[in-house]
Amino acid sequence: MLLDKIKGTIAKYSMLHDGDTVVVGLSGGADSVTLLHCLKALDMDLNLYAVYIDHGLRPTETPHEIEFCANLCKGLGVSFCEEQISLPPKIIANTQDTLRELRYEILEKIAYERKAARIAIGHNKDDQAETVLLHFIRGSSLAGLGGIPPVRGKIIRPLIETSRVDIENFLESLGVKFITDSSNLTQKYMRNKVRLSLLPMLKTYNPNIVDTLARNADIIRGEDSYIERIAIKKTMTLISRRTDRRLELFLSPLQTIEKTILRRVLKTALGSVETMKGIGAVHIDDIITLVNNASAGASIDLPNGIRAIKGYSILTITTEEKPARINTYALSVPGELVIKEAKVVLRAALTDETQGGENKLCIIVDADRLKYPLTVRGRLDGDYFYPVGFGKRKKVQDFFVDDKVPKDARDSIPLVLSGGDIVWIAGMRGDERFKPKIDTQRCVKLELFQMKT
């Protein structure tokens, strides 16, 4: 008996409890009419509230449908109301997708107003099969191939394990009428093409294709849920730092994770940052290639201004602007230079100090060894210097590699030069040749500051 089957579905997914207030989507079609009849027949003391939503697309049919639904509810002793969808003047998205989103917004609003625990929708097993095929055709992820969830938040689908044939037979046995939406008979929409053409063709190969697709969807949803739980737990251990525009993940563990789980981990991690949501499977695979195959310092550009940068120990995914290559400037002594593209300020001042206070952001150099004015620029091929404490010449490129400076950050690091010789890689290391000696009389203090925002 169909009612027993629906009771089994409700119990299986814990859809309802005694005394629940339930908003029921009622179109007048076979599915929603059956849903309302069965919910009314349950021995659960439910408070039912039926809602007809006018999509504004069939003005000649809508009044009849509203009258039918109102009379049906009156006969069953169920509260009824109608709602109107107000379509935006210009619909950019697919009309059917837009209408569906607006329909659920209305149902959620009414559920909130009525303090309803559940929103009951009349999707059946055939709808499930159609959805799985649609998602497969569109190249959906595992989650999409799981089809329509029986329960999602407040939304429940008690008919999801019941076929359309059984529903129509049930109504016929009771002598209950229903309305056929004319838009369901046209092949204008992809779902209707699947329903009217693809599924009948597939049934010639497998008469039980609807059951097969629905069963597979149920299995996939379970496996997808399991993988999702693993991914969430794994993701929590991998995040090093997270802001509204930057996500940093520990690199070494990422390189040991199976690709199937890694895809989900990256999707979960990206989804935790508002500006990075919606990155597709193709681009997640690009990030995986970066993680596993690229050298340290490599980066890739992704949609929506997102960049992924492979460091030496951290994978950085960011929507921050890419560091700009700095121009060439003159720096007077004393003097101050604002480098907007690097968002830093360089300051040069004469000092009697010959040592002390030096750090990465401040060095003291021999004033008499300098050629004025100093030059400030970005790196060039072939640049070299004599790092303090290193004892011999070293290429700037090798220094950056050894100091694990990301590739796309190297052009934004100011080099301070005297003539053609590097005095200081600002913020990093000075040159041994300009270090004050015992007999040094005059010095210049060079300091680096971040620009105030």
Nearest residue to 242 (alpha-carbon basis) of 314, 343, 322: 314
Q: Is 426 annotated as a binding residue?
A: no
- Strand partners for 416: 376, 424
CA of 345: how far to CAs of 293, 338, 434, 451, 452, in Å? 37, 5, 21, 6, 9
In the chain, how many H helices and how many E strands? 14, 22
Q: Is 332 annotated as a binding residue?
A: no
| DSSP single-letter state for residue 356 | S
- Strand partners for 22: 48, 118
Other residues' Cβ atoms within 10 Å of the Cβ of residue 133:
21
What's the distance, Cα to Cα, between the start and end of the chain in Å? 70
Using CA atoms, how far apart are residues 184 and 165, in angstroms rounded to an integer?
Answer: 16
Other residues' Cβ atoms within 10 Å of the Cβ of residue 194:
20
Q: Is 28 annotated as a binding residue?
A: yes
Question: Given CA atoms 104, 108, 109, 113 in this order, what sign does their dihedral have?
Answer: positive
Using CA atoms, how far apart are residues 266 and 308, in angstroms rounded to an integer?
Answer: 11
| DSSP single-letter state for residue 407 | G
Q: Is 27 annotated as a binding residue?
A: yes
Residue 420, amino acid: G
Tokens read off for 420: 């053609």
How does DSSP assign 178-209, residue by residue?
A: ----GGGG-TTSHHHHIIIIIHHHHHTT-TTH
Nearest residue to 123 (alpha-carbon basis) of 234, 247, 217: 217
Q: Is 120 annotated as a binding residue?
A: no
Is the N-terminal amide bond of 89 cis, ω within 30° of 0? no
Q: Residues marked as binding for ATP?
A: 27-32
Q: Residues marked as binding?
A: 27-32
